[in-house]
């Protein structure tokens, strides 16, 4: 008895076709950029990162088709040394989900009223072990990465499209197919880095 293709399957299928088609797209999107701000008050350092121009027109199409984006932010606090290498003080990793709803873009459920052109991460706070001296200087380094789809999610869509079922079919999937899916997923990720001096609050 034949299986019926559901609306969800058609939507995911459209997302896969769009994703694979993007590999050959000649359009060049604006390069993604990262930025950050950080302040020091007493022994407390507060930092926040921004992802700028991460959602290209192609990725915008995919998210609007129902694929979710994963925004990963890594912030690292360093102490500056004039005559030696900087020393790492602390760090934090954040993962937020970018999605499109009938009301527009949301980042971890928070509406992006101005669109996804500028995405602010959650604030990160660190407490220094000792109160810094007046001459002490600190810097925050930021790494930001946005991935709209993964090789796993693309594999699931491909499975639905071909009506594969069960572990046996998964084991039969060739290594070439897996490599292709990973390549597509990698091409659909964007990243950038930045650094900012920690300023002292007045």
- pLDDT tens for the 202 residues of the chain, in order: 444 445 444 544 455 555 555 444 445 568 999 999 999 999 999 999 999 999 988 889 888 988 889 999 999 999 999 888 999 999 999 999 999 999 999 999 999 988 999 999 999 999 999 999 999 999 999 999 998 866 555 555 555 555 544 444 555 555 545 555 554 555 578 999 999 999 998 7
The confidence score (pLDDT) of residue 178 equals 52
**Adjacent-strand bridge partners of 154:** none
The confidence score (pLDDT) of residue 62 equals 85
Ordered structural domains, the chain, with CATH: 31-129+136-149+191-200 (2.60.40.10)
Q: What tens digit of pLDDT does each residue of 65-82 get?
A: 888 899 999 999 999 998
User: Which secondary structure element, helix H or strand E, spans residue 109, and what is its range?
Assistant: none
The confidence score (pLDDT) of residue 68 equals 86
The confidence score (pLDDT) of residue 186 equals 53
CB atoms near residue 80 (< 10 Å):
15
The confidence score (pLDDT) of residue 90 equals 97
β-strand 33-41 against 199-200: which pairing, if any?
Answer: parallel
Do 36 and 184 contact (CB within 8 A), yes or no?
no
User: Which secondary structure element, helix H or strand E, spans residue 159, and what is its range?
Assistant: helix 151-161
Percentage of the chain exceeding pLDDT 90: 53
The confidence score (pLDDT) of residue 169 equals 53
């Amino acid at each position: 008895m034949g299986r019926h293709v559901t609306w969800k399957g058609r939507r995911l299928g459209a997302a896969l076709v769009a994703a694979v088609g993007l590999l050959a797209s000649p359009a060049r999107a604006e390069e993604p950029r990262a930025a950050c701000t950080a302040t020091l008050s007493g022994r407390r350092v507060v930092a926040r990162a921004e992802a700028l121009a991460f959602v290209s027109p192609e990725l915008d199409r995919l998210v609007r088709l129902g694929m979710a984006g994963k925004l990963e932010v890594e912030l690292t606090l360093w102490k500056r040394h004039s005559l030696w290498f900087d020393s790492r003080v602390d760090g934090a990793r954040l993962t937020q989900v970018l999605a499109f709803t009938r009301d527009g873009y949301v980042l971890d459920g928070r509406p992006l009223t101005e669109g996804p052109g500028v995405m602010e991460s959650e604030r990160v706070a660190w407490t220094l072990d000792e109160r810094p001296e007046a001459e002490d200087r600190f810097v925050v380094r930021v790494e930001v990465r946005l991935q709209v789809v993964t090789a796993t999610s693309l594999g699931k869509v491909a499975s639905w499209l071909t009506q594969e079922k069960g572990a046996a079919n998964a084991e039969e999937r060739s290594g070439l197919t897996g490599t292709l899916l990973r390549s597509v997923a990698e091409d659909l990720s964007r990243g950038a880095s930045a650094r900012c001096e920690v300023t002292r609050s007045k």
